[in-house]
Amino acid sequence: MEMTEQFEKTARELEDRIRPQIEEAKKKVSDLNERAVGYIKENPGKCLLGAVAAGYIIGRIASR
């Protein structure tokens, strides 16, 4: 019983410690996603050309 309680306590502590970090990482990722989507929507031509160029280079490298 003591072992289980100790384990539960450690798990809770770990969760309390990790949860804010996970939340922060989630927020950062969602911010990054929003910024990327916004940039793509603002400059569709640039992004499309860049993507085609990147694909072309990757294809060139892969074909060697």
Partner 1 sequence: MESSESGTLNGQRTEGNSSRAGGGAISVGQRVDRVSDTAQEAWSRTRETVNELKERLDIDGRVRRNPYGTMAAALGIGYVLGGGFFSPLTARLFRFGLRIGIRLAAIPFLENEIRGFAEAVVTGSEDDEGESASSSGEGKRSQQKGSKGGKR
Note the residues at the interface with partner 1 (CB under 8 A): 36-37, 40-41, 44-45, 47-49, 51-63
Which residue lies nearer to partner 1 by CB, 14 or 51?
51
Least distance CB 30 / partner 1 (angstroms): 14
For residue 55 the two structure tokens come to 């694909």
Tokens 């922060």, located at residue: 24
**Spatial separation of the C-alpha atoms in residues 12 and 8, rounded to whole Å:** 6
Which residue lies nearer to partner 1 by CB, 18 or 58?
58
Which residue lies nearer to partner 1 by CB, 25 or 53?
53
For residue 54 the two structure tokens come to 């990147």
